[in-house]
Amino acid sequence: MAKDFPTRAENYSQWYNDLVIKADLAETSAVRGCMVIKPSGYAIWEKMQSILDKMFKDTGHSNAYFPLFIPKSFFSKEASHVEGFAKECAVVTHYRLKNSSDGKGIIVDEDAKLEEELIVRPTSETIIWDTYRNWIKSYRDLPLLINQWANVVRWEMRTRLFLRTTEFLWQEGHTAHATREEAIAEAEQMLSVYADFAENYMAVPVIRGIKSPNERFAGAVETYCIEALMQDGKALQAGTSHFLGENFAKAFDVKFLSKENKLEYVWATSWGVSTRLMGALIMAHSDDNGLVLPPKLAPTQVVIIPIYKNSDQLAVISETAVKIKNNLQAKGISVKYDDRETQKPGWKFNEYEFKGVPVRIVIGPRDLENGTVEVARRDTLEKSVYQIIDIEKKIVNLLDSIQDNLYQKALAFRDENTRKADTWEEFNTLLDTKAGFVLAHWDGTPETEQKIKDETKATIRCIPLNNTPEEGKCIYSGKPSKQRVVFARAY
């Protein structure tokens, strides 16, 4: 398989786009800004979805589904929410087409104009909280812990496969609680779920923190986030969890009768991750040879390739190969035995290396004589000879080693690319020459934050939850600051 695309050093952006397409993960569609997720890419998303869904259910959440269309009037009920999403909304105004009388083709039927325009959901808080008004009457109905797997539409002007598209797939949790404390605990719990998934399944280290007011979700009181660092030194927001206070409950008049027999507003959260995680997975680990996938999310964890000269040799090799495959599958490992005669072994080696399969096992006649197989690991490209005896246990350990190595490598990269800046000049130099996370003092005002963004294109990614208090001066204004925050240029 040809690797005819730039290296990361030559053109990181082009490397990413070409890799997504050439690895058959996704492609652009006929609809501007939208993508087609191909089977190879969707298989990874399905694994992500399956793991996250179990994590949600293990923490007490249930799945439901709400309409794709939201009445336009709903958005006006929460002022900051509509302001945050207004420029990204796609609006349905008519429900029918007809042939034009002048022969110019299909046109909108003006007689079929909707009484109220509908928003194609950019997020579901409004339609869900209108529904919750009918579901919640008493403290006995709380907490209400609901998740939805869905697609959303946000009209983006500049798009990039997986990272930013007009339509994308995601999950959105929406919960209702009797007290402020319960809602905050829920928002923090779901942030921990996301961090656990990112680090232990995606092998991507993340910083847990809260967003500054300028970067906060529209309609939220507080936004919690996890931030990851990609190989080009740019940050990527990998998940958010929002404490919504009583904002949406008040906007949609969602009240409950408390144990004290008082009518009170419900406290709310929402939280979500999307197919943007696919972009994070690709950019965090892949190299100039193609995809590198952590074993826990690889659709195919092991591929077995026979080397033979004739059908008789293939038949003998296949007996051993199929036995290894079955034993690995019995241990929960996904395995492919590629005995296609239409492609040579060398082509297959390149294909599976390029598509990021974590482990490759090669068996030839001489291997059978010696009771061995050749094993190659994708993360380091190292090859070793393994005895066939107990090969299953060895492969399980190898997959665990690869998973851990990818995390440790990404963690070391982040640590090497996290630096402190104490002056405006030093801040700009770090952004322009080394990128990565820059830890700097900020005076806490939205005005200063916006000026820094306007002048450098760097944003406050988060205020870390485990931040250590430290007296200092804001790099921009020189005003007092009590802690450093995390700045970076971001996707």
pLDDT tens-digit series, residues 270-282: 999 999 999 999 9
- Check whether 1 has a pLDDT greater than 70: no
For the segment 111-138, the average pLDDT, to the nearest whole number, is 97
Tokens of 338: 């590629």
Q: Give pLDDT, residue 80.
A: 82
**Alpha-carbon torsion 247, 248, 251, 254, what sign?**
negative
Q: Give pLDDT, residue 481.
A: 98
For the segment 216-220, the average pLDDT, to the nearest whole number, is 94
Fold type of domain 302-398: Rossmann fold (3.40.50)
CA distance 423 to 475: 5
List Cβ neighbours of 167 (8 Å cut-off, separation of 6 or more). Answer: 31, 33, 34, 35, 151, 152, 153
What is the 8-class DSSP label of residue 165?
-
Alpha helix positions (H), 218-308: 247-251, 276-285
Confidence of residue 3 (pLDDT cuts 50, 70, 90): low
Domain map (residue ranges) of the chain: 12-91+121-285, 302-398, 418-488
CA distance 33 to 161: 9
CB 162 within 8 A of CB 281: no
For the segment 369-384, the average pLDDT, to the nearest whole number, is 98
CA distance 403 to 380: 12
Considering the four listed CATH numbers 3.90.199.10, 2.120.10.30, 3.30.110.30, 3.90.1200.10, the one that applies to the domain covering 418-488 is: 3.30.110.30
- Check whether 402 has a pLDDT greater than 80: yes
Average pLDDT score over the chain: 96
CA distance 270 to 81: 13
Alpha helix positions (H), 237-362: 247-251, 276-285, 311-330, 345-354
Least confident of 45-54, 102-111, 210-219, 295-304: 102-111
List Cβ neighbours of 209 (8 Å cut-off, separation of 6 or more). Answer: 224, 225, 226, 227, 461, 462, 463, 464, 465, 467, 486
For the segment 103-115, the average pLDDT, to the nearest whole number, is 91
Q: Give pLDDT, residue 123.
A: 95
CB 91 within 8 A of CB 72: yes
- Check whether 344 has a pLDDT greater than 60: yes
Strands 144-153, 62-63: pairing kind: parallel
Q: Give pLDDT, residue 104.
A: 77
- Check whether 82 has a pLDDT greater than 80: no
CB 434 within 8 A of CB 426: no
Superfamily designation of domain 12-91+121-285: Bira Bifunctional Protein; Domain 2 (3.30.930.10)
Q: Give pLDDT, residue 4.
A: 80
